[in-house]
Structure 1
Amino acid sequence: MLSGMLTSSGEWDWGRLEHILPASVLDTLAADKPPRPQYGPDAPGWRWDERRRFTLASAYRSLLSDSTQLRDPKRRIIWALRVPQRIRVFMWITAHKWYLTNVELVRRHISLSDGCSICFKGVEDIEHVLWKCTKAHELWYNVLRSDKLDSFMSTPFDDWLLINLRHKSGPVNPEIVWKGPDRGWVKVNVDASVNSTDNQALIGGLIRDDSGGWVLGFYGVVGRCSLLLAEMWAIHEGLCRAWDTGCRRVEVETDSKEAACIVNRVSHALAGSALVQAIWTLMRQEWLVQVWTLIQFRL
């Protein structure tokens, strides 16, 4: 099993792995913690089941999801909308990220730069074109502050779209307030992002005391992985930094509800992952740890 690819200290034996695996696979492997006895037995797992066990139902669901676009839930939602056909087409193309953005042009070797030529801030992917660009943000700001917008929203999907538009564009008068932890505690805010072109994951976070004073900041590159796994790495790194700093009463705050559910054992997803087992092992040490989501309720 994988335990044969570890060094005597329990880390990945990169010198050995580099001779048998391509760079893309090594980046993916770097995002997984090496198996250790305290994390459970080193055993294969079925990726399409949250408990990592093979079932006919999970196999059927995986085949069904990959079989045809006709079963794509976006197809059922978008083409059922009572809107002009051009809007359905626009939403369909957007949902599948088929626009020729600069990121896509670079991927096709048509352009040399993937940067935005309008605001010159960040890469021009589909999210940048629709939300992140300063011109796009200005457009949504002017649209969403109009009192007439709610009158056009009549279906459940319209309500969902309106909520997401306002979430993406931010409130008309944004006021960001950091809520401090209880007295004697520290708060660890963590976050992660994954590059849409190569799946390279970045994590970062900071630790502040109950008065908002700076304790520690950190960031790092994880490797190639999903956004959920990157969020789990951010929580793991935040816990490690808090422990090493001597903090013994810690609140961890993440914007990933799914990651918080896994850490609090509400969800069984990734339960067989060595990374999740490592987080649970950290939380069993002699300290008090709470994991929250940004909407400030305990799971």
Structure 2
Amino acid sequence: MTNATGQWDWNRMSFVLPELLLRKIATIRPPNNMLGSDVPDWRWEQNRCFTTKSAYEALSNYEVLSFDFKWVNICHLKFPRCVKVFVWLAVHDRLLTNAERFRRHLAISDWCTWCQTSSETIDHVVRHCSTAISVWVAVIKLHLLNEFMTAIFSLDWG
């Protein structure tokens, strides 16, 4: 389902797939032989293979904070819920960036595939990548853009 340049072939896919599925596919990078094979990797086992026991142990050790000040700050922002959820995921280090994929041995490089200027960390994706900033400009309403940029630059990104 990719074209000669390695990008998604939207002309072919639009005839057979519903719009909702096409939007989900648009968030996924097309396969690329230069990045190596796509191999699952379970970080909670030394041999990197999934077991129910390791999943249970990982979940039972999960500490739930009684009060999360970061979420309180984010939920009071005047932005669409999907933007708030994305910001919450970023602040809590839950986005699968290239740096995280590289750390998990799922990528051969941690560089940002969009701007090619530095490691694709959460901080880079949210605040420093020129492509990401152009997306924010397109997604956030003009009269809220300054407030949004101030908010994301003031949050602690770990």
TM-score (norm 1): 0.26
Structure number having the greater strand percentage? 1
Larger Rg: 1
TM-score (norm 2): 0.45
